[in-house]
Structure 1
Amino acid sequence: MTPAALADLVRATAVDVLSARGLDTAALPDAVTVERPRNPEHGDYATNLALQSAKRLGVAPRELAGWLAEALAAQDAIAEAEVAGPGFLNLRLAADAQGAIVREVLAAGDGYGRGDELAGRRINLEFVSANPTGPIHIGGTRWAAVGDALGRILAARGAAVTREYYFNDAGAQIDRFVRSLVAAAEGKPAPEDGYAGDYVADIAAEVLRREPDVLSRPAGEQHEVFRRVGVGLMFDHIKQTLHDFRTDFDVYFHEDSLHTSGAVDAAVEELKASGNLYFHEGAWWLRSTEFGDDKDRPVIKSDGQPAYIAGDIAYFKDKRARGFDLCIYMLGADHHGYIGRLKAAAAALGDDPNTVEVLIGQMVNLVRDGRPVRMSKRAGTVITLDDLVEAVGVDAARYALVRSSVDATLDIDLDLWSRRTNENPVFYVQYAHARLASLLRNAAELGVEVPTAAGGVDYGLLTHDREGDLIRTIGEYPRVVGTAAELREPHRVARYLEELASAYHKFYDSCRVLPQGDEEATPLTAARLALCAAARQVLANGLGLLGVGAPERM
């Protein structure tokens, strides 16, 4: 019995108890909470339903809890129900009811943990969106891992997710990049405000290889060639790097298209017509303070050129026109101001500001030998995604970046994450999966059949404390995924996987699974093999949500 099924049973029992006593069942919450207590001596699960409902019913919490305990103890699935403290209810499940979680996992396979609470939602998830002027730096790398994992998690709970990369190919940074390429092609130092690093020289050399006479052309034509070819090469490198990192996008949206298509002009005219733009000191300003922003924002500058927010406004309109009912923006630590301005822009357009959601990720630092790593071999001044992958590999890099809340600055110890020991969290989880896969292979080699969901397993035999702990941990997985989706926190899945790996290792050390020597397989063997198969499945499912491999051998 999963926690969700147990919650349903508790509520249904409570409805029966109140109805039998002539009490109003509307006093019960729509959703009952059941949680695993920190102290296993307090039972398998606990609920505060009596505390929640007693006041509205005019009943003492402990009295209500007592009624519920008596009724629940009569249920076949409940081995024991007792009142604790001011009105908590501690529950122990019957072994066969608890073991039904194993059957559920085996039946669902890679679908275990999926849900439909987000069915019908169309979510645009924009992340990374690094300027195409250099390799992806370590901050963007964090979003590459977290954003991709979040997309997988949201999809697992039923949402239709479109992963989108906003290609910033308009603005001053592109002009500086082009000037840097031209300087490198001419053998000159980078401009003072330009970009340095070996990658600039490499791209410039490739432009010259493709367009050998480019430097003999007029300056305007030179710049156009270096812009078209050079920026394209840089973006191709970014896309390939992300693909190798297992992060792919459904849409690559070009900022420049908003300007060339007239979308920016149309958005500006719409805001003027609504009165939400006003003219002041030669510029057009958005009345963003009227919609919750901390200050009004210039949309058209005094030189007549659109400010960056003009593109943001047009881009939001485009997303909504494509049918997305939620637009999630995953931005860096220096973008806190965007929360207010993007929501204000949506409201100024007459839209619901809650269709905009902005997630802010903090900085990432790499550490080696106890000291910060500050310089990239290729990029010069920044640490890149390629640097991290070269140091620890894709699996460890993704797991390290996803494992912690993005609200906090993250230090990645390259020495730790490159180790093949249990100190390395990703190794610890992957080793549990490989160990389980090995055990199941060994069973097949011994001619012992690994059970499926078809039945024939007596889960009531799984009475050892370590078995119960592993089963209950497995049962938590759907709720963990649901919470990770609701709170946009993929790190919850990673931390859960470490808890599951720990529960499995402890089980394995305490409970022998396969027969030894001339021993025959027993019904307990079958039950434990089913439990191992379920644990392996959940580890694989969770690692898949994080975009991390689930190796069969290590």
Structure 2
Amino acid sequence: MTPADLAAAILDSTRAVLTERGLDTSVLPHSIGVERPRNPEHGDYASTVALQVAKKVGANPRELATAIAGRLETVDGVKAVEVAGPGFLNVRLDPAAAGRLARVVVEAGREYGRSAALAGESINLEFVSANPTGPLHIGGVRWAAVGDALGRLLRAVGAQVGTEYYFNDAGSQIDRFANSLLAAAKGEPTPEDGYGGGYITDIANAVLAKRPDALSAPDPKEIFRVEGIALMFDEIKESLAQFGVHFDRYFNEKDLHDQGKLDAALARLREQGHVYDAEGATWLRTTDFGDDKDRVLRKSNGEWTYFAADCAYYLDKRERGFERVVIMLGADHHGYIGRMKAMSACFGDDPKRNLEILIGQLVNLLREGQPLRMSKRAGTVVTIEDLVEAIGVDAARYALARFSVDSPIDLDLDLWTRRSNDNPVFYVQYAHARIASLLRNAAELGVTRGDDFDPGLLSHEKENDLLKALGEFPEIVASAAELREPHRVARYLEELATAYHRFYDACRVLPQGDEEATDLTRARLWLVEAARTVFANGLDLLGVSAPERM
């Protein structure tokens, strides 16, 4: 019996009790959850459904809980139900009901943990979107890890997801980038407002290698702009690919201008009645929807603002059929939330439903307790290559996805390269590798789990703890996706690893010496295989490998 099965049984029992008493069943939620009590002596699972429902129907919660418990005790697989306090339900499962979960997990395989919780949702997920004026720095790398994991999670619970990188190839920062490349190609100092770092010289030289005539061309700056952007963006895409991150679409800001999408967005906003002209400029009245000031769409000199491009890009996503637009932004973008939400409302959308903005906090890298030196190549920042070189792709992705995005991170690189249990990614991956080794040993001994097993044999306390942990995985996946918190999966995997290591230390799985394999051996092999399945599925949701050997 899975936690979901038990929750459904509790809900059915509650509905039956209310119906018998002629009480209103419409107050019942569509679904409920069950929790694992902190104290195992209180049972395997607990529910507060009686407390939630009693007040709504005018019943005594403890008396209602007692009636529900009587019904629930007749359900196959439920050993006992105790009523505690004002109306808590503490449920104990019989070992066979708990043990059957191992078969459920193994037979589901890669599908275990997946659901249709967000089926029908169409979500555009934009993340990273770093300017193509330099290598991808550590802030963008955090979004690469978290965003890719979030996309995997959303798909795992049934959402239709389009991942997207917004490529800012228009605007003043591109002019500064082109000027910097041109200066480097000429051997001149970096312009006062330009970009420094060895990568500028590298790209300038690459442009000259491709276009030897660049400096003598009628418009050398345009050549360095076009070729430099292409080279820089190719490098960014290659860095992301090596990090295991691939986007469904790379969207060029320049296309918004070239295809008249800014004019189309402006026309739509005028139709909605939120555009006005003043001081020679065109404004959007975002203060109507809570923004601290109205925003300029087109300057008095006729130039479009960045915000106008943001409006056009949002509208383009919505017109492509995405019901929900999710945008991940860096720590310095808090001011964007109000104007973007207001912009969504100006288009006639519901900002709470159609637009979601996540803000990520800073990442600090430490080595020997001191901040990591700046990148030699980038000059001013630590890049994705620096991080991967220091700790590897798996550790980097896991470390960056392990924390809530609204919390700053201090990453100790010495910790994340350590092959010990205090390194979280090693701890989790080692659990998977330990299982793989056990299963190889079983194969060498000619011991198989067979097609069937007696789930009632999985009655040891540590077996029960492991089964409970495995049963939580689907709910963890669903909540991590709904709350946009991939770190919940990482923290769960660490708890699962603890449960598995304790089981392994307390419960011998394979026979030793001349011993024969028993029914308990085979039952435990089912449990071990179930644990391996969940480790592999969970690590895959984070984009981290599940090694067979370590």
Q: CA deviation at 1:302?
A: 2.3
Which residue pairs with 2:262 in the alignment?
264
Question: Do 2:291 and 2:339's aligned partners in 1 also have CA atoms closer than 8 Å?
Answer: yes
| Distance (Å, rounded) in 2 between the aligned partners of 1:409 and 1:265 | 39
| Distance (Å, rounded) in 1 between the aligned partners of 2:95 and 2:20 | 29
| 1:524 aligned counterpart, secondary structure | helix
Greater shift after overlay, 115-124 or 537-546? Answer: 115-124
TM-score (norm 1): 0.97
Letter in 2 for 1:436: I
Gaps of 5+ in 1: none
Question: Do 1:29 and 1:53's aligned partners in 2 also have CA atoms closer than 8 Å?
Answer: no
Q: Does 1:274 align with 2:262?
A: no
Find the partner of 2:480 among 471, 480, 484. Answer: 484
TM-score (norm 2): 0.98
Which residue pairs with 2:232 in the alignment?
234
Deviations 1:18-44 (A, max 9, x none): 333443333433322311111111111
Residues 382-397 of structure 1: pairs in structure 2 closer than 5 A = 382-397=381-396
Q: Does 1:81 align with 2:77?
A: no
Which residue pairs with 1:63 in the alignment?
63
Q: CA deviation at 1:374?
A: 4.2
| Distance (Å, rounded) in 2 between the aligned partners of 1:300 and 1:390 | 44
Which residue pairs with 1:128 in the alignment?
128
Greater shift after overlay, 20-29 or 74-83? Answer: 20-29
Cα RMSD between the aligned structures? 1.2
Q: CA deviation at 1:3?
A: 1.1
| 2:277 aligned counterpart, secondary structure | strand
Which residue pairs with 1:149 in the alignment?
149
| 2:468 aligned counterpart, secondary structure | helix
Q: Does 1:459 align with 2:458?
A: no
Q: CA deviation at 1:205?
A: 0.7
| Distance (Å, rounded) in 2 between the aligned partners of 1:296 and 1:528 | 65
Which residue pairs with 1:552 in the alignment?
548
Which residue pairs with 1:36 in the alignment?
36
Which residue pairs with 2:309 in the alignment?
311
Q: CA deviation at 1:406?
A: 0.3
Question: Do 1:374 and 1:381's aligned partners in 2 also have CA atoms closer than 8 Å?
Answer: no
| Distance (Å, rounded) in 2 between the aligned partners of 1:328 and 1:157 | 16
| 1:34 aligned counterpart, secondary structure | coil
Letter in 2 for 1:498: E
Deviations 1:379-423 (A, max 9, x none): 010111111111000000000000000001111111100111111
Residues 316-395 of structure 1: pairs in structure 2 closer than 5 A = 316-353=314-351, 354-395=353-394
| Distance (Å, rounded) in 2 between the aligned partners of 1:23 and 1:200 | 73
Letter in 2 for 1:268: L
Question: Do 2:112 and 2:474's aligned partners in 1 also have CA atoms closer than 8 Å?
Answer: yes
| 2:447 aligned counterpart, secondary structure | coil
Q: Does 1:166 align with 2:163?
A: no
Deviations 1:138-187 (A, max 9, x none): 00000000000000000000111111000000001011011111111111
Greater shift after overlay, 72-81 or 421-430? Answer: 72-81
Deviations 1:188-225 (A, max 9, x none): 1211111111111111111111111211223xx10111
Residues 424-503 of structure 1: pairs in structure 2 closer than 5 A = 424-451=423-450, 454=451, 456-503=452-499
| 2:364 aligned counterpart, secondary structure | strand
Q: CA deviation at 1:474?
A: 0.3
| 1:50 aligned counterpart, secondary structure | helix
Greater shift after overlay, 165-174 or 296-305? Answer: 296-305
Which residue pairs with 2:520 in the alignment?
524
Find the partner of 1:538 among 534, 540, 548. Answer: 534
Greater shift after overlay, 272-281 or 474-483? Answer: 272-281
| Distance (Å, rounded) in 2 between the aligned partners of 1:348 and 1:297 | 12
Greater shift after overlay, 269-278 or 321-330? Answer: 269-278
Q: CA deviation at 1:74?
A: 2.8
Question: Do 1:33 and 1:48's aligned partners in 2 also have CA atoms closer than 8 Å?
Answer: no
| Distance (Å, rounded) in 1 between the aligned partners of 2:194 and 2:546 | 43
Residues 186-265 of structure 1: pairs in structure 2 closer than 5 A = 186-218=186-218, 221-265=219-263
| 1:375 aligned counterpart, secondary structure | coil
Q: Does 1:515 align with 2:511?
A: yes
- Give the 3 Å change call, closer, same or farther, for CA 104–349 of structure 1 in structure 2: same
Q: CA deviation at 1:273?
A: 4.0
Deviations 1:471-497 (A, max 9, x none): 010000000000001000000000000
